[in-house]
Amino acid sequence: MSTPPVTAPAWATATPYAAALSTGRGPLFLRRTDGWLLPLEVERWCARADAVDRAVLDRCEGTVLDVGCGPGRLVAELAARGRAVLGIDISEAAVDQTVRRGGQALRRSVFEPLPGERRWGTVLLMDGNVGIGGDPRALLDRVAGLLRPGGLLIAETAPVDVDERAQVQVVDLTGTGNGADDPFPWARLGTRALLRYAQGWDEAGQWTAGGRRFAALRSRSASSSAEPPKRTAVISSQRARNTSAGNPVPDR
């Protein structure tokens, strides 16, 4: 198993990101060390789930963990449907907004201990979050450890065929004084690249909608001693505003 990458404290405390979430507006970018800019879709993230999002959520199975939930549009949509869902994000501003929308969220890195490990039905890696940590294989290994045997990963991939790892910064170029933060590792993956890294997974589909690309993978891991995918209490027992980055919230 790959060594988990160091989490990105720069993203967790990124002033430009928190400021953009507070207003619901960009422009905001990830900037590589060579100066190349990747626009971040702040307005879409802060809006309600759109038709493309809702079609993705229709595919979710069982309890859902949204990794890098941002301001919580997907968590809120699933909660409104009566689904058992939890968002995690290392940004306090993102977690606060998710909670205000009526979702449940924890301030936590995917590489830290989490509630319900090996019992989640679906893990979401939307909005480019396959790039978290800059090490796709380590991230996929970690997600496999979160899912129940045969669980589903739904990932949004880059709209082009790319396999890139880089140091990036969150930057605001509007001159508002929010500036930029320290670099952290990130990756950009197209669907082909994601499938190359997905050893130990079965492909469960790929599709394009609204100019966005997605892939679904199913974990092959199974263990006769694994607990069955039960316990919605994994989520219902969470304190919605628990944003501690320390120990995981215990199950009932």
| pLDDT at site 243 | 41
CA distance 64 to 44: 21
| pLDDT at site 26 | 87
Per domain, the residue ranges of the chain are 50-163+187-236
CATH class given for the domain over 50-163+187-236:
alpha beta
Residue 150's CB: how many other CB atoms inside 10 A? 14
| pLDDT at site 245 | 36
| pLDDT at site 222 | 52
Give me the phi and psi of 45, to 5 degrees please: -65, -35
In order along its 252 residues, the chain shows pLDDT tens digits of 444 454 555 455 557 898 899 899 889 999 999 999 999 999 999 999 999 999 999 999 999 999 999 999 999 999 999 999 999 999 999 999 999 999 999 999 999 999 999 999 999 999 999 999 999 999 999 999 999 999 999 999 999 999 999 999 999 887 655 556 778 999 999 999 999 999 999 999 999 999 999 999 999 865 433 333 333 333 332 333 344 333 333 342
| pLDDT at site 228 | 38
C-alpha 51 chain-centroid distance: 19
User: Which residues fall within 8 angstroms of residue 90, CB to CB, at 6 or more apart?
Assistant: 7, 8, 9, 11, 12, 107, 108, 109, 245
CA distance 32 to 186: 9
C-alpha 6 chain-centroid distance: 16
